[in-house]
Amino acid sequence: MEFVLNNIWLILLWAMSGFMLFAGDLRGRLSGIKQITPQEAVRLFNHEDALVLDVREQSEWMDGHIAKARHVPVGQLGKRSGELDKYRTKPIVAVCRVGNRSAHACSVLRKAGFENVLNLDGGMVAWEQAGLPKEK
Cα 75 to Cα 97: distance, rounded to the nearest angstrom = 15
- By C-alpha distance, which of 71, 65, 78 is closest to 110? 78
Based on the residue annotation, tell me whether 96 is a catalytic residue of this protein.
yes
CA dihedral 41, 46, 51, 54 (to 10 degrees): 50
Active-site choice (93, 96, 118, 124):
96
Cα 72 to Cα 3: distance, rounded to the nearest angstrom = 48
Catalytic center residues: 96
